[in-house]
């Protein structure tokens, strides 16, 4: 049991803060005894402050109080609450946040950038109205040793499309970055995300997408490019609750030195979710014999009329390909970089040119 300090009073949210404190004191920080935290051990810390992201386009911002009903809604069933205690910590201590509310039938061509730089419990609510389309670029960066507990609630109404780029690039390698997202997907909606993990000592990205409308798509992609003693964990769950929907989870990792990456992906197909098409794949490129990749893809299916697959691979750089590049006069170091870039490009090139440019600029590529 862990005791929390009493939070600052937020009159709009105080009615459920006391319950959040009770739950966190009961369960404490997640431990490796929990299935979804089996491969990631958090150091002991206390995070009782709140911080807020900066947003490039404030036109669609509303007060966080306008999202009270969204925030207070019970998302996770009580029996699963024990491994979501970071959500309770955030509920208890956030005092402000951003509510990005996109009206219906709005096509936004210029990506909106959300930037998180400070230690704290961070809350972000994104609602994309019917038939609207936009791209969000989320940047997590800091030169100091920060601990961020970022909770995101994303709602896609009928026909909405959201491309969500999450870039984890801390200059300080002792930072801890914890990100938990819940995505609610309505009919004919499309959620397409890519997480780029390069910074932080420990990063844990959890995503749960609930498909609650027909003919929708969810695509969760990720790149881990880490070294030293960095640890990057991607844990994703896509719940197919309606028929005729597609989902994919595609993760590529490049691990050097003593780095460790984790992919835990699960696809759940409910009894009513016929004609589901779901894929999972994790590929890791191991640069050092000391690096480690843990893969745990899962399927839980309650309908026979579906197409679902999962797989995982780990391997080293191809010596024949290296030899070929060396024989063309390319230095060993540069040859390795060419092969690594080609390996990661299979995810990067899933996106349009303007997004590819942003990703490569942040990854240090051309």
pLDDT in tens, 48-94: 889 989 999 999 999 999 998 898 886 665 545 568 899 989 988 88
| Residue 1 structure tokens | 């049991």
Tell the burial category of 121 from Cβ atoms under 10 Å away from its Cβ (0-12, 13-18, 19+).
buried
pLDDT of 77 reads 55
Residue burial 280-301, b: 16+ Cβ < 10 Å; e: rest: bbbbbbbbeeebbbbbbbeeeb
pLDDT in tens, 184-195: 999 999 999 999
pLDDT of 361 reads 86
pLDDT of 48 reads 87
pLDDT in tens, 111-133: 999 999 889 999 999 999 999 99
User: Does residue 219 contact residue 255 with C-beta atoms inside 8 Å?
Assistant: no
State which H helix or E strand residue 129 sits in: none
User: Does residue 305 contact residue 273 with C-beta atoms inside 8 Å?
Assistant: no
How many Å apart are CA 179 and CA 150, to the nearest integer? 5
14: which residues sit within 8 A by CB, 6+ positions away?
Answer: none
DSSP 97-127: -EEEEEPTT-B--SPEEEEE-SSEEEEEEEE
pLDDT in tens, 213-227: 999 999 999 999 999
Q: Which of 146, 235, 123 is nearest to 199 (CA)?
A: 146
Strand partners, 237: 208, 266
272: which residues sit within 8 A by CB, 6+ positions away?
Answer: 241, 242, 243, 303
- Domain ranges, ordered by start, for the chain: 14-316, 319-366
Whether pLDDT at 16 is above 80: no
How many Å apart are CA 50 and CA 123, to the nearest integer? 9
């Amino acid at each position: 049991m862990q005791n929390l300090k009493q939070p600052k009073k937020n009159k709009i949210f105080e009615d459920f803060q006391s319950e959040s404190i009770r739950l966190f004191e009961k369960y404490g920080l997640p431990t490796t005894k929990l299935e979804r935290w089996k491969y990631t051990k958090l150091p002991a810390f206390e995070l009782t402050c709140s911080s807020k992201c900066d947003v490039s386009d404030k036109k669609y911002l509303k007060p966080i109080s306008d999202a009270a009903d969204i925030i207070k809604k019970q998302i996770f069933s009580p029996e699963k609450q024990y491994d979501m205690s970071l959500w309770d910590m955030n509920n208890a201590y956030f005092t402000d946040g951003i509510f990005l509310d996109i009206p219906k039938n709005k096509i936004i061509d210029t990506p909106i950038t959300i930037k998180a730089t400070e230690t704290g419990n961070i809350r972000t609510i994104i609602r994309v109205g019917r038939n609207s389309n936009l791209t969000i670029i989320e940047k997590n960066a800091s030169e100091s040793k920060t601990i961020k507990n970022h909770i995101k609630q994303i709602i896609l109404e009928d026909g909405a499309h959201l491309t969500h780029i999450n870039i984890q690039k801390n200059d300080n390698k002792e930072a801890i970055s914890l990100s938990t997202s819940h995505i609610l997907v309505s009919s004919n909606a499309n959620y397409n995300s890519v997480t780029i993990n390069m910074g932080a000592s420990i990063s844990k990205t959890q995503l749960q997408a609930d498909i609650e409308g027909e003919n929708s798509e969810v695509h969760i992609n990720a790149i881990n490019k880490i070294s030293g003693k960095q640890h990057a964990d991607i844990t994703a769950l896509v719940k197919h609750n309606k028929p005729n929907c597609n989902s994919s989870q595609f993760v590529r990792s490049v691990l050097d030195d003593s780095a460790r990456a984790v992919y835990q992906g699960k696809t759940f197909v409910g009894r009513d979710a016929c004609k589901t098409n779901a894929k999972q794949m994790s590929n890791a490129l191991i640069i050092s014999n000391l690096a480690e990749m843990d893969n745990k893809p899962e399927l839980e299916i309650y309908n026979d009329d579906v197409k679902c697959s999962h797989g995982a691979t780990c391997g080293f750089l191809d010596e024949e390909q290296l030899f070929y590049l060396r024989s063309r006069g390319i230095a060993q170091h540069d040859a390795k970089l060419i092969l690594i870039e080609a390996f990661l490009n299979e995810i990067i090139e899933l996106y349009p040119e303007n997004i590819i440019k942003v990703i490569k600029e942040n990854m240090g590529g051309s």
